[in-house]
Every structure is written in structure tokens, then in C-alpha cells.
Structure 1
């Protein structure tokens, strides 16, 4: 599907003879799809790929370019919490079998690195790619049988895994009521006794059941109910929420905490040392078993993650007889991981919740009957019926009925949109009033909401410059501190400056401090939260780079037609020369009623709004390039331009001053009258959007210094629109290449500049700007694919929120980074005077990570 979309996009670009946003127009005027994922080294010098490099987002080369959204890192021993995100190398490059999974329980990018390295050691596995932000893992293997060992390998590392869409016939259910792994096995055994069930897997950890069956969904739900549980059907294309994932971990943490408390109390009650030590030991085993097992497999796959560091620290504490310290370290670590996992899932669920917007089933019209079907079974051309109050399940065209539809889930618009026959309706939107019959135009995988989810998940994988810096810092910091910890344990005692036990303890503290979890997690969580907030408000931000770029914008250039204005001509001025305004408009409507010209339609639409009816006319005749004539009540009337009335000898001189004044204002004029008498002049002009003025005012308030309009219209039109909208500057009479020059002029004046256009016609300017923003993405697939940021609604209403969200995200990232660095610096400084204990070191590490996550989660709640 991705390849088809890229191919279609490439064709669209060629038709417009320009590169889409994020492209380069090279010497041969060729360009390429903005979504090329092949290695940049494979690109020929006459083609191009994304010009907005993560490292140098503003670099524009004339002949070649490369896509750089991250750096590969395949060190034999990865640093704690180092990133696993590689450059956007696609798993699809491999010719073998492919599978996708969702991995639960990762609370730091190091977890993803550990899993990736471990899976790569399995037989017949070609490549593994894990996106920590979304929890998604893609695996390529030379043989299909290689996938069977993946779940057990991941579970050995201490994580939970769920396959995604490997078997197209598999259905997914959420199971409620299971309180242990035995429940899942019991349910599996029960369902396998049913002949219509071909395959079934129940996961207690995720609360999910994957099942292939030939009977109905209702039958399966009944069978699950017989076993004592509740099943809820969800479609394969929608996201999943983590159900009961941490329940077992939470139980072990509670038990471990109680045992430590009993041991601590026992030491004061003069209970035998053997008993208190036993309580601490049991507590360590209960809450430390999973981290220790994960540490074993991490070391086996040559990864140095936080499980390894914490396990070594706990065992070291035991070796020097600090049982309470060791047990406390393990317990605090387990508690911190559980809290981090729970918090980080909130950011992931912000995207997965989008997937639950469209219902899994729909009523399909079959003759005179209505049949309920799964959305996966509905084909293009089927007609679905949507009742008042229901969500629309698939994209389509309204073929019967009228209603108001709440499109906020897709476009962020707060006001419902009226839908009638011929209008497009989107999956996930809410039908508020009348019943609608909708002819399906896209299958479930291709709906607008599905594309939004795909693009947002893709955006989460792309590193921001701040994240790239942090990852490089962590990659250097961790091994240095690790080696320093070993040196602290060995060198001072060898040279006689202290006891072995004392320096061994300090080394253990350094091991704990060596894991920069809070630092590495500071940027991606903030970015994912901000991107999730934007998506919820009808704005698609294509990655962390563009989120950061939006925050630094000081000038925004707007294409006039279709961006600041409606892009449709409308009656703007009515100047009466003889008779009444109603007579003038009535004659004009009569003349223009049978024409398909946009100006004629504007006059007819204006008549509808004013309640002006047409007269009885005949002998209609179009005068090419000049206007139209018709006979009304025996008199020949004309409607047209100045040239037409000069040719028929009409007395234009008495209105020439008004005509010249209206022309100077940029209006298109329609003169109405007879050969001997003029009724008046109608001025036609493009109208400002209702939301434009408030959006521009808001942008001024938040500190955007320059609001600039770019238009191909002449000076008069540009001046009038600029005056109405309080635009700071305008550039008129522009060709597409002139718009590029205007953007470059703003940049040369020191303004980081964004360009707002439609994503296609303004592509050269969009590519030249520091940030390309397309609007109306809900109705334009190409706009969704080409721009850095897409405003799904066909207005500028959400642009100020996008700028504010970006700035807030940058502030949160800076707060997180500085907080993480200061906590680490303080912890390191406190080690050598002996002020830091081992459990305080763990608390500083896990506590700082948790505070960073919670600080980032504030972005999810920022109002649009």
C-alpha cells in the first residue's frame, strides 16, 4: 500500500511540474516522492529525496540530497538507555518473510536495544527494527518458521509481546475477568473444543485474545461468557491498550515491600539476624527475579542496559553484607519501572485512542435489507447506513440523506459540518442528526483516519535534533561512567587509600548513576506527547524535527487563494446606476443562470442568499470572452466585461470612474444593461475565510513577527486583502518561482520562515521555507503526504495552537534535559563524600525518570 501511495504521489508531482514539499527542484526539474525510504546512497544524482535533513533541516542542494533522520548505532555493547532508532531504513528492503509485533513493558530506549540485539541472535532472523515510542517491532526473516521463537525470547527478557496482523483471518478480542495466567490457558482450552475455532491464543498479560473462527462474533462472545469472562471484539486495524500488563508486577512489588518492612521492623525488635536476612533475600527474589532474568539475556546479547546495572549493584550489595540496601535497591527499581511503564503507556495510548474512533462494524444496505458487517468485509461501492448519534465507520460519499456531522476527531473543527448528497464523510466522525446513506470509497486500511494513524506513528520514529544530541551524549556518558565505576572499585584500595568494602560500595553507586534513563527519555516522551496532542486537534506533525522548527518560526508566508481566502469568487460589491438593486440583480441572475462559469455561479449563489428570483428570458447567447446576452420582456440585455459594452456602444463614460476604482481594488467586474442604458455594475472578488482574521490576530499575539501574503493576483487585489486581514507585508504578481524568491528574501532578513499553502501548487515555496504547512489535508491525500505539518481542517484555526504547542514542547524538553543533568551531577558529587547511599542512588535515577515522564505528559493535556 505504501509503495502504491508513493507511486501515485510521484505521478501527481510530475503533473504539476514541481517537487512536493520536502523536495528539491534540481537542474533537470525532476523530483521524487517525499516518502522515499531507500538508502540515500542508492539515489542517482538526478533525483532527490527529503531535503529536510534531521541534522541540517535547511540545507538545499541543487542536484542531490539524502535523507538523514537518525544515525545507525550497532556497537557490540550498547550504552545504557542508548537509542535503537536507526536511520529510516525500511524493513521492507528484505526479500524474506516479515512480521509485526507490539511489545509492552519498555520504559527506556535501552529496552528496545536489548530486545533487538537478542532477537537478531535467533536463527534465520535477518533484521529487527523496534520503535520505542510506539512499542512496535518489525522483524524480517528468511523463513516463516523463524517467527515461532520470537515470543518466548522476548518474554525471557521480561517483556510482553503481541503479534499484529500476521494472520489476516485472525480477530482480536479484549478479555476481562482474568486474574492469572491459568485463566488464559483455561479459556484457550475451552475455545479449542469448538469446531468452528481454527486457532486461538489468549494473553493474560495484555488481556487480548487472537482467534481465527468461522462462526459469528456473537457466538465467540457467548462461548467466552460460558467460561466466566467478558469478551469485547476489536478490529485488526485499531490500536490496543495495555490491559493488566503490570498486575503481576504490582503484586510482586507489594509483597516485596511488605517483606522489607517486616525485616526492617525485625531488626529493631532484636529478631535473629538470620530471619531478617532471609526476609530481605526473599524480597530481592520476588521483585528482582524478572530484572535479573532480563539482565542475563541482555548480557547474553551483549547489551549493557539498566537491568544489568541494577542487578550488579544489588548482588554487589549482598556480597558486602548490605542486605537491606540490596533489597531496597531492587524494590525501588521495580517500583520505578512499573510507574514509568504505566506513565509511558499514556503517551502511546494517545495515538492508539485514535484507532478506536471508527466503529468495528457497520450496517450495509443489501437490497431492502440492512446487514451488520465487520468493516474489514466491506468493499468499495457498498452502501452503509449511519443512524443519528452513530460514528461513521468508513470514508465515503453521501448518496442519500442530510445531516450535521461532527468532524472534530479528524479535523479538530469545533462546529459540526452539514452534509448532503455528494459530500464526503470520514470514518471516525459522528453523525449528529439525520440518517445518512454513504457509498464507501475507501476500504478500512485506506481511510483518512488510518492514514493519520500511520503518519503519526511514522512521525514518532523520527528523531528531533535535541534527541539526537541526547542519544550521542548518553552513548559516551554511560560507558565512561561504567569504566570509572570499575576503576573506583579497584584502584584506590590497590594504592592503599581506603578499604575494599568502602570503595566497592562507591563503585556500586556509580554503576546505578551510570544509567541516564531520565536524560534519554526526556526528549522522545515530550515529542510523542506533543505529536499526540496535535493529532487529537486535527494537526499532523511529521516528526520531532518539524515540531522543533515550528517553535522557532518568526515569519509565516501565506498563499492567498484558498488559504487566506475561500478560493471561490463571490459577489462583493453592487453599484446601481439606474433602477433598483433588486432589478439589477434579478436581470443579472437571469442572464447568468445557465452558465457554468465560476463568476456566473457566484451571481446565482448571491441571488439565492438574497432571495432574488430570475425573470423570464429567452434567446440566450454566449459572447466568447466578453459575456452573455438574452431577451427579457422584449429587450436585449447584456452582462459582461468593459470590452463588450464598448463594442455595443453603451454609455460607459458616466460610470468609468467607479469602474476604474473597483478594478484598482482587484475586483472582477460584471456590467449589466442594454445597448442604451446601464443598470449597474457587480464586483466579484475572492472572500476572506471566516477563521482567517482571528487566526492571524492570534499568531500576532503569540509573537510571530511577520505575517506575509504571497499571491499571483495584481497589486490592487493584494493590497485590499492585506488591508482586510492586517497582513504585515504582501508580494503580488508572483509566479511560483517568484514565491521562492519571496521566501528566500524573508530568510535573508533573519526570519525563520514557514510557508502555508495547499501542498501541491505551492510546492517550490513550501520546500524552500524552513517549515512547509499544508491545509485541508482531510480532503487531499497528497497534502497529507507532502507537507511537514498538515492542518486537516480547511482553515487556519489550529495554526496558532500548533506554534504554541511546539514552543511548549521545546520548553518541556529543555526542562527535562537540565533536570536530568542536574540530578546526575548532584548524585555523582554526593558519592565521594559518602553522602549518597545505594538506595538513594536508585531513587534519584528512577525518580528523575518518572518526574521527566510526568512533566512531558502535561503536553497531552494542553488545550487546542
Structure 2
């Protein structure tokens, strides 16, 4: 849908269906979610929607194929894409009514409007063109045959007004008497009665033009997030029975092996099992530089393979891949209204009837009390009805919220609803987990200190002992050896010594790689070596000692290093006026070392309940707290915080446990998310100012007699288009957030 009027009419009509408990209509997403007692079937709701002028096709039982509602009336297109209407059993928790919906009916109301084809082929476009041609014809007839000009304009007006009036009457019948169509109908008919037929016809035409522009703008807004789904290729090269065959990407099962050739888009989320290549993730993450990926690295559907062939094991079906989940979460989030949006909704319920009262008073009181001209003041009263239409005001907030959510999703910043997007900009403290949030979550070799062997030899011998091990420290040593180009000779009799290290021999030399304590049991360490180990430990590093025979060959220090952007991200938070604190279960020494390098206050050796307690303490001091963690062991603190932000690469936990998720694990993205929130709220304030400001200006000029009916309609439809276009700036500006 593209207008608040549609949402109100559908909401009121569906609430009249017996068994319906709650209705939530999302204008930006073009969806409606219905909670009911289990007795309602889709066909009943489809019929009720049909009475409003919508035509629903392909309907069937709740678990049948998706149905595609089509707009059956001439005046309203309802956005892009193939909609669906299906019952589902999972629960929805909508912020706007605070209830868990035991059963929902989730429908998209679309007609494949302007966003999917030329606007002039849509029903709305055809009606607008017909009304415009009729207006031109009436003008020509009026010039040639002045005596029939009045009736020519009446007929021209009727071309556009009849469908509008029909919708107004149907909406009134189903609980929406104060719709924009009703105000338009009253104003146009009133103008004809007082003899202003030319203006009445022009106003109807301008109204249709305004609605057409609204549809185009709203369709573009909705298509911005749905366009993500087009990134995933339709087909994939599946390896089966030793052969490669092209299949539909949506049929790929978890565990399937697919071939991704250089230059191809990845058809599914998966893990690389063979090959190495630079993968361009810009279409999904916005990253400008391709990432080098190899065996065991994760790839996302829709990203572009670079220079090498990859064999990928599928880890998620088409409906569950990262892009599909992002689209689904954003659509659900758009149904969750922000506090500002809920206030505007409540305000508009009283605003429209008040406009009718004011219009009536302007038309009646001056002639009755002051003896003014009836024709002049009735005309002004009718203009006020058009000025007072609430569409621009009501759409001002959801349009900006939808654009903000979409802009974030396209860059891996997921926020679950308008309330979250609004609240993010108000946080004053960010409490961040260490492992996997501020750090990479996996150790890296930071120091290789040669003693009796060269650095290259130390890496070679240590790597020889660790071949085949999946221990994080072993993986770090093997990665460093590969990076340094150190050869890895075969080791004989390699094995683990429980709690101490690993042993083996290379070239007849007995080797041991383990903790300093275990090494000291075999060979005496010098004071210098012990001091060096202590210094490394003080830096939060884990030290392994390599023994070759009876000598210390060298020391290898490892640490879970901070993310590349961690310091920059914390500085960005500071610039945004947000203080940061590290909450970690790690030991004090390691936490202090990492915190010192990042310039953040550490709180270490914390259990999950301790993290939650600290969040509560911060809140008790009046702080608005965002807790940032991995979404698993931080769950209590995430739930306690004002905003819980999960860090991760699109895992189910990262997407489902918190209020928001930073999919690509960048600390800098937290500040970007806050910036997006603040930009969105500023945009909402601008939209409300535009909507109310234009109405105020035209109200004064109309009462003063400067403007009339046709400028009055611009105060509504023009403002609606301006507000929607202003909200769309968030999509373009999203790159800098």
C-alpha cells in the first residue's frame, strides 16, 4: 500500500470480521497481519478486502499456495511484488499492541503497480490519463460551445470522481467514514453546487495525479528492500553423482555441493569446501574491497565470486538464506510501530473529524453571524476540507521508518522495528562483550621469538606438530606458518599430552610444544626466558614453548586480537556522545591488555548474571544502555538492556535474540546504526514540519481569499509526495551512516 487511508480502511473492515482480535497494517511493507481465534479462514478476509475494491485471486486454504491480491478499483495501486496471504502458526510479538499473536494471517496487498511496470499501464495511471483527457475535452467544448461548458466540466469531473466516491461510500460502510475519498467527494460535489465546476474538475484531476505520484514513490521505497532478493541467481550448478547440472536455486537442499565459477553470483549461503577466490560482498554488505576466502570460510547468497572456482556446501535453504532472512525481518520490523508513529496514528483519529468540523464552521459561521456571502465562505470551507486531509501527516513517520530500516538492512544493520530504530539514537552507554565482539573471536600468533632455532624453523617445527588438529591455537600456528611461507615437514609419533601440549619428532629430533609450566618440567628455563614469558602474559597473550631435544627452540605467543575497526568504532561512539565499557568473562590480565590498546574501561571475570547486573546498575544511574554481544552467553544482559545488539555473521542466534544485529561483525557499524537512527528521527521531524507547515500556509491563504480549491489539494497530495521523497533520501544517504 502507498497511503495511510488504505491502511485505515483495511484495518477497520477486517476488525468487523467475527473472530478477528487484532489487525496490524503496514503501509511501507504493503502487508496486513491479522490475529484471530482460529475460526477465521483466508477466504473470509479476502472477501472483506474485496468489498473495499480489491480483487483477490488464487485464494485457497491456509496452507495453500500464496495468493496474489490485485487492486480491483481504479484509484489505488498497492505496491510492488507478488504478495501472499497465508496462515502461519508461529507467534508475532508486535510492539504496537504488546500481545503475542497465537495465530496470524499475513497478507500482501499488491497489484504490481508502478514499481513493476510503466505507470501509465496501471489502473490508477489509466484513470488519471482518462480524467486528464476529459478535462482537456471539457475545456475545448467550453470554448466552442460556452452554453454547454458547465455540463462538460461536470462530466469530466465525474470520470474521476465516481470511482473516488464509490470508494468513499464503501469505506464508510465498513467503519471509515472520514476517509480522504469522503473529504474529496464532499469538496467536489460542494464545488459543483456553488457553480465552481471548472475548479471541481481540476481538483479531481490533481487529486488523481497526487495519488499516482504517491504510488510511484511508495513503490520505489518498498522495492528498495525487495530488490535484495534479485541478487540471488535463479539457477545453480549442482554436483550430483559425479556430474554437474544446472538446477533452480530454490530447490537446493542443505548439504548439497554447488560449483561457483569465476564471475558467478553465489546461489546459496554455504561453506567453501574446495578452492580459493576473492569474493565481492558489496551487493550484500556494501564492502568496497573483495574478501579473500578459502576452505571453511562462509559465503553468502548474492555475493560475486572473483577469480577462482569454488565448491560450496549449502548451509541454508533458499527461504532461509541471509538475504531472505534480512527481507523477512525488515518486513516484520516495518509492522512494529515506533512510539512517534503510534502517537501520530492516535492524533489522526481525532484530526480528520476535527477538520470536517472546522470546514463546516468556516462555511456557516461568517454568513450567519456576519452576513458574509454564502458562496464565498462555502467555497473556503470546501477548500479547508482538502487542506486538512491527513495523508501527508500520517505517512510522515512510517515512510521514514521504512526507509531507515531498509537502508540499514542493505548494509547488514538489522533493527527489529520502528521502536528499536527510534530508541537507538537515544543510547548513552554501549556495553560491549570482548570475545567475538571487540575481538575476532579466534587467536592469532602475535610473536614468534627464536631462541636456539630461527623464527622460520620455530614455525615449521610447531606447525609439523599441529597438522590435523582443530584446536584454535593449532589453527593459529598453521595459519601463521602458511602466511610466512614456512615449510611444514612430516612429524613422526605426533600425539597430545593431556593438559600439557603435543609431542612428536622431525628428522629424528624429539619435539614438544606446550605451556611454559609443562616445558619447565622438561627443560630448565632461563631467567630471561621466564621474564619474557611473563611480559607476554601481562599483554594478555598465551605463550607456548617449543622444545627441540633438550633445548628451548623458541617461544610462540598468541592472542585473540581486536578487530581491525575496533578502535575506530569506539572512537566513533565517543564522537557520538556515547561512552563504552567492556564486559567480559575473561581474566583481568587479558581484559586489561585488550582494553588498554582500545582505550576502553574493562570489567572482567564476569558471569552472565554479572553482566546483567552491571547493565541494571547503569540504567539505575539514568543511562540508556545498548548491550553488544554474541547473542548466546550474553543473552541475560541483551534482554536487560534498553537495546540489545547481536554481533555475528547472520547466524540464527544473532538474528533472533537481540533487538538489532550487526551482521558483518564491524564495531564501527554500531556507531553507524546510531547515526542512522538519529538521521531517521531528524527526517521524521522534517516530514512533520513539511506536512503541517504546508497545511498552515494554505489554511491562512485560503481564509484570506488568496488561494482556492486547486491549490488546496496540493497542500495534501503535494505534501504527501514531498514527505515520501524526503524519506527516500535516507536510502541514498545510508552509505554514509
TM-score (norm 1): 0.73
Match of 1:130 in 2: 25
Secondary structure class of the residue paired with 1:812: helix
CA distance in 1, matches of 2:242, 2:509: 54
C-alpha displacement at 1:813, in angstroms? 0.5
1:826 aligns with 2:697: yes
Secondary structure class of the residue paired with 1:337: helix
Match of 1:253 in 2: 128
Q: Is the 8 A contact 1:125 1:146 kept in 2?
A: no
Deviations 1:384-413 (A, max 9, x none): 444333333333444554443333344443
Of the candidates 292, 296, 301, which is equivalent to residue 169 of structure 2? 296
Unmatched tracts of structure 2, length 5 or more: 84-107
Match of 1:808 in 2: 679
Q: Is the 8 A contact 1:206 1:243 kept in 2?
A: no
Q: Is the 8 A contact 1:239 1:352 kept in 2?
A: no
Of the candidates 669, 677, 697, which is equivalent to residue 798 of structure 1? 669
Secondary structure class of the residue paired with 1:519: helix
Q: Is the 8 A contact 1:206 1:245 kept in 2?
A: no
CA distance in 2, matches of 1:381, 1:791: 26
Give the 3 Å change call, closer, same or farther, for CA 440–590 of structure 1 in structure 2.
Answer: closer
CA distance in 2, matches of 1:250, 1:127: 34
After TM superposition, the structure 1 stretch with the greater mean CA deviation from structure 2, 572-581 or 845-854, is 572-581
CA distance in 1, matches of 2:516, 2:627: 37
CA distance in 1, matches of 2:658, 2:639: 9
User: What is the aligned-residue RMSD (CA, Å)?
Assistant: 3.7
Pairs within 5 Å for 1:461-860:
461-495=335-369, 497-593=371-467, 595-614=469-488, 618-620=492-494, 622-631=496-505, 636-648=510-522, 650-673=524-547, 677-701=551-575, 703-725=576-598, 727-748=599-620, 750-778=622-650, 780-860=651-731
Of the candidates 304, 324, 327, which is equivalent to residue 450 of structure 1? 324
Q: Is the 8 A contact 1:489 1:506 kept in 2?
A: yes
CA distance in 2, matches of 1:722, 1:541: 28
Give the 3 Å change call, closer, same or farther, for CA 208–429 of structure 1 in structure 2.
Answer: closer
CA distance in 1, matches of 2:506, 2:212: 82
C-alpha displacement at 1:462, in angstroms? 0.8
Deviations 1:160-214 (A, max 9, x none): 66668979897999xxxxxxx9xxxxxxxxxxxxxxxxxxxxx99999999xxxx
C-alpha displacement at 1:523, in angstroms? 0.5
Of the candidates 254, 257, 261, which is equivalent to residue 387 of structure 1? 261
Deviations 1:134-185 (A, max 9, x none): 112456774565467467534x3xx566668979897999xxxxxxx9xxxx
Of the candidates 201, 221, 226, which is equivalent to residue 347 of structure 1? 221
Secondary structure class of the residue paired with 1:709: strand
Of the candidates 268, 279, 282, which is equivalent to residue 152 of structure 2? 279
Give the 3 Å change call, closer, same or farther, for CA 151–475 of structure 1 in structure 2.
Answer: closer
Give the 3 Å change call, closer, same or farther, for CA 289–245 of structure 1 in structure 2.
Answer: farther
Pairs within 5 Å for 1:139-288:
142=40, 146=44, 149=47, 152-154=50-52, 156=53, 241-244=115-118, 247=121, 248-257=123-132, 259-260=134-135, 272-288=145-161
Q: Is the 8 A contact 1:160 1:206 kept in 2?
A: no
CA distance in 2, matches of 1:120, 1:746: 43
CA distance in 2, matches of 1:571, 1:279: 85
Give the 3 Å change call, closer, same or farther, for CA 582–239 of structure 1 in structure 2.
Answer: farther
1:115 aligns with 2:10: yes
Secondary structure class of the residue paired with 1:754: strand
CA distance in 2, matches of 1:398, 1:619: 31
Match of 1:861 in 2: 732
Q: Is the 8 A contact 1:126 1:142 kept in 2?
A: no
CA distance in 1, matches of 2:13, 2:457: 83
Q: Is the 8 A contact 1:650 1:674 kept in 2?
A: no
C-alpha displacement at 1:353, in angstroms? 0.9
Q: Is the 8 A contact 1:313 1:511 kept in 2?
A: yes
Give the 3 Å change call, closer, same or farther, for CA 686–302 of structure 1 in structure 2.
Answer: closer
Unmatched tracts of structure 1, length 5 or more: 1-105, 174-180, 182-202, 211-235
Give the 3 Å change call, closer, same or farther, for CA 114–606 of structure 1 in structure 2.
Answer: same
C-alpha displacement at 1:750, in angstroms? 4.9
Secondary structure class of the residue paired with 2:561: strand
